[in-house]
């Protein structure tokens, strides 16, 4: 897991980044559902194992499990508490509402757009509101990812028999996580500019999140993930995030996909590279 440090963030404020912070504060309040909690305060843990029953007062957070693509947009399908009211809320105040069925399954229709969007996902059940673990990011190509503060992005993607890099997350000090899909249980290694920087293993569902042992400094880098089934190499360019001017995140088209700089709940700035060509 990467650590988000605030020193760079404080220097941003000194350079005028306070505009983005004020925008975040006011827009986050507009996304609140009135319960005293809002979707713009996600937890940082990985997606929880969801149970159908609510035990000992604990309600598992809502979870996106599938995306259906269509010409006019997409439909997100997921799991939550039975009969819960489900909400996607944007920092602009836009909200998409839905209702879970008796088994906890829900679906939300999201219209097509030519821009990257970021939503907070929450549900209300028995008078309690529970936020999902992260922000739901949707690209114009209808790729969906869960952005997690201090951790690697969780892409909604199909399995892969060979290592496939789906995202790269970097904090202001260069702490980085490489995430993607591989064969379930596969042993994996990461090289950055031909130097070993991480080892790990894919989970039972084939996902991997590999933290680099050294900071990923500014500049161009070749990142290679290899292991059972093959290898993949990508080239990325790392640079600091500019101060925010219009809201709590900024998306920029890059050669390999999308770069998203976003303000975390803890006040730091995290950069997520969403790579194109990844399996869906």
Could you tell me which residues come within 8 angstroms of residue 69 by beta carbon, excluding any fewer than 6 positions away? 142
Q: Confidence band (pLDDT; 50, 70, 90) for 184?
A: very high
Which pair of structure tokens corresponds to residue 149?
């503060």
Question: 176-181 and 164-170: which strand pairing?
Answer: antiparallel
- Say if residue 130's pLDDT is above 90: yes
Per-residue model confidence as pLDDT tens digits over 187-218: 999 999 999 999 999 999 999 999 999 999 99
> How far is the C-alpha of 132 from the C-alpha of 31, rounded, in Å?
14
CATH number of the 154-275 domain: 2.60.40.10
Q: What are phi and psi of 143, to 5 degrees?
A: -75, 140
Per-residue model confidence as pLDDT tens digits over 61-99: 999 999 998 888 999 999 999 999 999 999 989 999 999
CA atoms within 13 A on the CB side of 251: 14
Beta strands in 103-186 (DSSP E): 105-111, 117-125, 128-138, 144-147, 154-155, 164-170, 176-181
Which pair of structure tokens corresponds to residue 225?
């993930």
């Amino acid at each position: 897991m990467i650590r988000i440090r605030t020193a760079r963030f404080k220097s941003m404020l000194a350079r005028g980044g306070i505009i983005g912070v004020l925008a975040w504060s006011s827009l986050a309040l507009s996304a609140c559902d009135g319960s005293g909690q809002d979707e713009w305060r996600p937890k940082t843990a990985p997606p929880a194992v969801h149970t159908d029953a609510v035990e000992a007062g604990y309600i598992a957070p809502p979870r996106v499990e599938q995306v259906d693509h269509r010409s006019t947009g997409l439909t997100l399908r997921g799991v939550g508490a039975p009969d819960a009211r489900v909400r996607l809320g944007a920092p602009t105040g836009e909200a998409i509402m839905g209702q879970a069925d008796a088994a906890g399954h829900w679906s939300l229709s999201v219209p097509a757009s030519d821009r990257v969007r970021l939503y907070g996902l929450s549900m209300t059940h028995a008078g309690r509101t529970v936020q999902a673990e992260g922000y739901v990011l949707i690209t114009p190509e209808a790729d969906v990812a869960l952005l997690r503060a201090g951790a690697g992005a969780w892409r909604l993607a199909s399995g892969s028999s060979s290592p496939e890099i789906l995202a790269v997350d970097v904090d202001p000090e260069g702490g980085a996580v490489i995430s993607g899909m591989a064969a379930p249980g596969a042993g994996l290694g990461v090289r950055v500019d031909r130097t070993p920087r991480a080892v790990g293993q894919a989970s039972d569902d084939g996902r991997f999140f590999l933290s680099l042992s050294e900071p990923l400094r500014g500049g161009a880098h070749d990142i290679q993930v290899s292991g059972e089934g093959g290898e993949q190499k990508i080239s990325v360019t790392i640079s600091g995030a500019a101060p925010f001017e219009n809201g709590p995140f900024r998306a920029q088209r890059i050669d390999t996909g999308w770069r998203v700089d976003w303000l975390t709940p803890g006040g730091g700035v995290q950069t997520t590279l969403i790579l194109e060509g990844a399996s869906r």
